Amino acid sequence: MMRLRRLSHSYGDEPVVDDVSLSVDQGEVVGIIGPSGVGKTTLLRVLSLFLEPDAGSVELDGDAVWDADEDERLALRRQVGMVFQDASLFDATVARNVEYGLRVRQGWDERLREQLRSLVGSTATPDAVTDALEIVGLNGKLDQHARSLSGGEAQRVSFARALAYEPDYLLLDEPTSDLDPRNTGLIEEAIGEARDRGIGVVVATHDMHQAERVADRVGVLLGDGFTEIGPTETIFENPTDERTRKFISGELVY
């Protein structure tokens, strides 16, 4: 389980999130919804263990990340994958981009190290790469250059790269903004597949309907914290907090 306890963070004097707690289990999808600028990306950056919060703790399977020494923290960080809003692919083929997800693991996973060693001098594509691309429906484009992909395809390759990394937790920041319904649907299916593989997924999105479709639990971020976190159905059909209700019904924009 990944757990945030009483997190607060400011940029300069401006508090973004204040006293926020959240837990994410492996094998569940947690949606974070809230208006632009409320702190969704900030929360994901803290969960990705790259941004040290001003206050509060982040725990991964019981280990407090910021109390750990640097080596331990690096090992903990390797359990978490993040897909940023801009796909940021390398100037290389689709297969190479996804393979990078494997390579960053090779230092600590003997099985993958073996798999990669056996690939030296060969042009074969590792199973984990074709498998991840299969999930996002792009197995036919292994050798296409990433620069020539459509925006939706690039997003899906970026998602496949994170899957190939085999994280315990996967953080997705607006994974389908600017995508058409077909690409959106493919990414949403891949989110379900990640969950079925036992990955704990966090999806930050300002598309509340997406959260309703993909999440098991939803946190509503308004002001400087969650007004409510609960099962998706409760949040959308029977919220207890008045501001949550207004936000869900579109009355409250911020």
Ligand X SMILES: Nc1ncnc2c1ncn2[C@@H]1O[C@H](COP(=O)(O)OP(=O)(O)OP(=O)(O)O)[C@@H](O)[C@H]1O
Residues binding ligand X (CB under 6 A)? 11, 16, 34, 36-42, 206
Q: Which is nearer to ligand X, 206 or 213 (CB)?
A: 206
Q: Which is nearer to ligand X, 58 or 102 (CB)?
A: 58
CB-side exposure of 208: number of CA atoms within 13 Å?
20
Give me the amino acid identity at 209.
H
89: helix, strand or coil:
coil
Stretch that binds Mg ion, among 12-20, 40-48, 112-120, 206-214 (CB under 5 A): 40-48
Name the minimum Å distance from CB 155 to Mg ion. Answer: 15
Nearest position to Mg ion, beta carbon: 41
Name the minimum Å distance from CB 217 to ligand X. Answer: 18
Q: Which is nearer to ligand X, 127 or 178 (CB)?
A: 178
Sequence-separated (6 or more) residues with CB below 8 Å from residue 211:
31, 32, 33, 203, 205, 218, 232
Quick note: the x/- pattern for Mg ion over 90-109, rule CB under 5 A, is --------------------
Stretch that binds Mg ion, among 36-44, 75-83, 125-133, 210-218 (CB under 5 A): 36-44
Name the minimum Å distance from CB 114 to ligand X. Answer: 40
Shortest CA distance to 159 belongs to which of 180, 138, 181, 182?
Answer: 138
Name the minimum Å distance from CB 90 to ligand X. Answer: 24
Q: Burial letters for 193-216: b for 16+ Cβ neighbours within 10 Å, e otherwise?
A: ebbeeebbbbbbbebbebbbbbbe
For residue 210, state whether it binds Mg ion (rule: CB under 5 A): no
List the structure tokens of 250.
């579109």
Q: Tell me the β-bridge partners of 134.
A: none
Name the minimum Å distance from CB 36 to ligand X. Answer: 3
What values do phi and psi take at 32, rounded to 5? -120, 115
Shortest CA distance to 16 belongs to which of 65, 67, 64, 51?
Answer: 51
Name the minimum Å distance from CB 20 to ligand X. Answer: 12
Q: Among 41, 48, 97, 155, indicate the residue that binds Mg ion (CB under 5 A).
A: 41
What values do phi and psi take at 111, rounded to 5? -60, -45
| Contact of residue 38 among Mg ion, ligand X, none (CB under 5-8 Å per partner type) | ligand X
Helix (H) or strand (E) holding 169: strand 169-173
| Contact of residue 16 among ligand X, Mg ion, none (CB under 5-8 Å per partner type) | ligand X
| Contact of residue 254 among Mg ion, ligand X, none (CB under 5-8 Å per partner type) | none
Report the interface residues with Mg ion, using CB under 5 A: 40-41
